[in-house]
Structure 1
Amino acid sequence: MGAAAMLGSAQPAFAADAAFTQFVASLWPEAQAAGVSRATFDRETRGLEPDYKLPDLLLPGRPPTGAPAQAEFVQVPADYVKEASIARLAAEGQKLMQKHRAALSEIEKRFGVPASIVLAIWGRETDFGRYRLPYDTLRVVATQAYVGRRKDQYRTEFIQALKLLAEGAVTRKEFRSSWAGATGYTQFLPSEYYKHGVDLDGDGRVDIWRSVPDALASAAQQLVNKGWQAGVRWAYEVKAPANVDCTVGVPEVTKPIAEWLRAGFVPVRGQRLSAAEQAQPASLLQVEGIYGPSFLTTKNYFVIKEYNFSDLYVLFVGHLADRMTSPLPFATPWSASTQLRSADVEAMQRHLTRIGLYKDKLDGKAGMQTRAALGAYQKSAGLKVDCWPSEAVLRSMSGGR
């Protein structure tokens, strides 16, 4: 290849990287306003390069890189909420509950969040600290601020990340994250560290990378700040009546648990609910449509969902928390349903949007709103109403186009 050709092919990447360097340099005034010194800014940004392999980027001349096919959405529930994983983590969680008893008691007293819930978040997020996060946080947030889908959000995260380094809260070597910039034992974005961080061990600093008490208390504080209600369970597993209308399984349809019970929903294993529990407002959740377990979800379910928007994530955390105090798996087994490819689910969402049954985002994920819209479509098309994306529904939609 001639020198000119080589230069030509190298130029776009070089130009983009030069523009990236310029972009990072342009953020100095914001960093300065946040209290970052010039010396820190120069040291941490010197030689910083973008990572164009990250998901969720909008790169000129290339198709958008979507968020990765997260396990929450492409695996069927039985694969995600895997019994072997839950059993292993629950056994370890019980040991950690003893080991960190003093800190966990303090967390329960101060925040009203059960020890088992914060331990389950830690277990799910980083396998109780064993999982080494793969990315350099500063590089991730700088790249996302430069060419990500959520540039403004990550511009803030970049400044906050520099502030963390400037204050010595974490060393650059330990400042590892997920592809989305979440860091520490319990996976906080830099801005969340400042919003929710707690120094529970009393050493004068909030350390979510090495201090288990600080990380777990910070997770509890985040839940409280998002609306956690003390003394309320995350959900109740129930047996749904045979004639259940799965289209009501959306957060907008909320009624006291007593009303659900009167409609034929029965708590599993003969569980008795107190008057206070029956007065709790709850929504119906059927992650596999009419197949698999059914749940009545409380306000606290949706608080955990703000930690991670996937229903399967919340089920994993809630069930893992339960298993630390009781050995019982879900009373109703997951069915052997197969999940369609994301592209097929997205095609369904487009069709449902066109005919006015769906108003949420087109993401190829069979979440609550998608399942309810599928059920509404099945009703109108005279199909079996199971609120689950299947080949039969896909065929029916293709034929109706």
Structure 2
Amino acid sequence: MNRWIASSQVLLAMTFMLLASAPALAADTAFTQFVASLWPEAQQAGVSRAVFDRETSALEPDYKLPDLLLPGRPSTGAPSQAEFVQVPADYVKEASIARLASHGQRLSIQHRDTLRAIEQRFGVPGNIILAIWGRETDYGRHALPYDGLRVLATQAYVGRRKDQYRGEFIEALKLIQNGDVTRKNLRTSWGGATGLTQFLPSELHKHGVDFDGDGHINIWTSVPDALASAAQQLKNKGWQPGVRWAYEVRAPRIADCTQGVPEVTKPISQWLREGYVPVRGEQLSAAEQAESASLLQPEGTYGPSFLTTKNYFVIKEYNFSDLYVLFVGHLADRILNGQPFATPWSASSQMRSADVEEMQKHLTRLGLYSSKLDGKAGMQTRAALGAYQKKAGLKVDCWPSTEVLRAMSAGR
């Protein structure tokens, strides 16, 4: 009797397992059909039938990836990027900057000739592209965790940006076909960025450089190719040779933090006349003072202030985050034996994304904000908060806080 019960329990468990796996099997069949349907696009892009069949024959989806739209499952959205949820003191940590700067200085010596040649060709200083390499993959010491082709195919099938990823998947097939990378070495982030300096396949197609002259654009194991490709991307996006990325300044006591948006630009000489003083007594040349700059106060009126040049926004094209650019720019300065920020970051805390998004909704209704409702306290959100604080008679610091949210909710 006990043996019969045990056998029945095993059979029942196996039945439940089969039932539970049935939707997944059906979904995988649909995924296989979806991938097969991409052949005409791949063929038109120049992918051979042999390569397409070889790389897709055993391809399976990865439904554990974030930012997918799966029927019957709650949407988790994209993972919270540190650039958008951490306060500057946590993101631009001195210990991390110092470690990466020390390693970057050694690499600048090791790759001196390559970096000099890259700067001569593209106009981008070696310390800038070393800093990007350091931030993206810790100079190649961070191993990217995902099978790139699987990621791109899954994102094209059930991701939030399906149309974009169809193209990325086909570009990845072309990279494999060209011999630039093997399927095994095509490792990516969950979003599909790959290589030492983190490119999406389409970006690599636009900006990739075979700098070592071996006939392949290899940003996975060729440092010259990876760094030159990063420099080419910055150049193509508008990098201006000889212009710094930003200047740290001390803001005057009466500074208007609502001016801290890209649309408000003035010659640096004018900012100086208005009381924005370069830190540590730095004297700027006439050419530097003639440059156009915007005000950046990442913590509102708290923490450091910066006058940002056009090159600041070029770096931002690499990753659309002010903290990312601050990290890369500051690391680049430190590689050249620069000093820490003169003004320390404050101990301010970052509000939950849901609360920041609620603020953005209030600001939108009041006509003070017209950008995305994304829960990120970026330049536009901070400036809109400052404008609201002015109208409501609150302390104007351009920084999200529970007090400001409470005032908004009360209809103040």
**Superposition deviation, residue 15 in structure 1:** 2.2
> 5+ unaligned residues in a row in structure 2: which ranges?
1-11
Structure 2 residue 273 is matched with structure 1 residue 277: no
- Aligned partner of 1:16 in structure 2 is 27
- Aligned partner of 1:380 in structure 2 is 391
- Aligned partner of 1:218 in structure 2 is 229
- Aligned partner of 1:27 in structure 2 is 38
Structure 2 residue 241 is matched with structure 1 residue 234: no
Q: Deviations over 1:150-175 (max 9, x none)?
A: 11111100000011111111011110
Equivalent residues in 2 for 1:262-341, closer than 5 Å:
262-341=273-352
Equivalent residues in 2 for 1:321-400, closer than 5 Å:
321-400=332-411
What is the rounded CA distance, in whole Å, between the counterparts of 1:266 and 1:167 in structure 2? 53
Structure 2 residue 157 is matched with structure 1 residue 146: yes
Equivalent residues in 2 for 1:80-159, closer than 5 Å:
80-159=91-170
What is the rounded CA distance, in whole Å, between the counterparts of 2:68 and 2:174 in structure 1? 24
What is the rounded CA distance, in whole Å, between the counterparts of 2:13 and 2:250 in structure 1? 71
- Aligned partner of 2:49 in structure 1 is 38
Q: Deviations over 1:276-295 (max 9, x none)?
A: 11111111000000000000
Q: Secondary structure of the equivalent of 1:198? A: coil
- The letter for the 2-side match of 1:36 is V
- The letter for the 2-side match of 1:44 is E
**Superposition deviation, residue 3 in structure 1:** 7.3
Q: Deviations over 1:9-53 (max 9, x none)?
A: 433322222111111000011111222121211111122111122
What is the rounded CA distance, in whole Å, between the counterparts of 2:128 and 2:338 in structure 1? 16
Structure 2 residue 63 is matched with structure 1 residue 52: yes
- The letter for the 1-side match of 2:353 is S
Q: Could you say if the C-alpha distance between residues 6 and 196 of structure 1 is closer, same or farther in structure 2, counting changes exceeding 3 Å? A: same
What is the rounded CA distance, in whole Å, between the counterparts of 1:140 and 1:58 in structure 2? 14
**Superposition deviation, residue 7 in structure 1:** 5.0
TM-score by length of 1: 0.97
Q: Secondary structure of the equivalent of 2:53? A: helix
Instruction: Please identify, of 302-311 and 323-332, the stretch whose mean Cα deviation from structure 2 is larger.
Output: 323-332
Q: Alignment RMSD, CA only?
A: 1.4
Identity value in percent? 78
**Superposition deviation, residue 2 in structure 1:** 7.5
- Aligned partner of 2:9 in structure 1 is none
**Superposition deviation, residue 63 in structure 1:** 3.3
Contact kept in structure 1, 2:155 and 2:165, CA below 8 Å? yes
- The letter for the 2-side match of 1:161 is A
**Superposition deviation, residue 297 in structure 1:** 0.4
Instruction: Please identify, of 6-15 and 279-288, the stretch whose mean Cα deviation from structure 2 is larger.
Output: 6-15
- The letter for the 1-side match of 2:77 is G
Instruction: Please identify, of 132-141 and 50-59, the stretch whose mean Cα deviation from structure 2 is larger.
Output: 50-59
> 5+ unaligned residues in a row in structure 1: which ranges?
none
**Superposition deviation, residue 65 in structure 1:** 2.8
TM-score by length of 2: 0.95
Q: Could you say if the C-alpha distance between residues 91 and 2 of structure 1 is closer, same or farther in structure 2, counting changes exceeding 3 Å? A: closer
> Which among 250, 256, 260 is matched to residue 267 of structure 2?
256
Q: Secondary structure of the equivalent of 2:30? A: helix
What is the rounded CA distance, in whole Å, between the counterparts of 2:321 and 2:267 in structure 1? 24
- The letter for the 1-side match of 2:250 is K
What is the rounded CA distance, in whole Å, between the counterparts of 2:247 and 2:352 in structure 1? 30
Q: Deviations over 1:176-231 (max 9, x none)?
A: 01111000000001111111111111222211001111100000000001110111
What is the rounded CA distance, in whole Å, between the counterparts of 2:377 and 2:401 in structure 1? 11
What is the rounded CA distance, in whole Å, between the counterparts of 1:200 and 1:219 in structure 2? 11
> Which among 220, 231, 242 is matched to residue 209 of structure 1?
220
What is the rounded CA distance, in whole Å, between the counterparts of 1:62 and 1:375 in structure 2? 39
**Superposition deviation, residue 8 in structure 1:** 4.7
What is the rounded CA distance, in whole Å, between the counterparts of 1:115 and 1:7 in structure 2? 57
Structure 2 residue 94 is matched with structure 1 residue 71: no
**Superposition deviation, residue 55 in structure 1:** 1.9
Contact kept in structure 1, 2:179 and 2:216, CA below 8 Å? no
Q: Could you say if the C-alpha distance between residues 43 and 204 of structure 1 is closer, same or farther in structure 2, counting changes exceeding 3 Å? A: same
Higher Cα Rg, which structure = 2
What is the rounded CA distance, in whole Å, between the counterparts of 1:244 and 1:327 in structure 2? 27
What is the rounded CA distance, in whole Å, between the counterparts of 2:88 and 2:399 in structure 1? 13
Q: Secondary structure of the equivalent of 1:229? A: coil
- Aligned partner of 1:246 in structure 2 is 257
> Which among 188, 197, 209 is matched to residue 186 of structure 1?
197
Instruction: Please identify, of 18-27 and 342-351, the stretch whose mean Cα deviation from structure 2 is larger.
Output: 342-351
What is the rounded CA distance, in whole Å, between the counterparts of 2:381 and 2:106 in structure 1? 39
Residues matched between the structures, number: 401
What is the rounded CA distance, in whole Å, between the counterparts of 1:12 and 1:370 in structure 2? 43
What is the rounded CA distance, in whole Å, between the counterparts of 1:97 and 1:280 in structure 2? 28
- The letter for the 2-side match of 1:23 is F
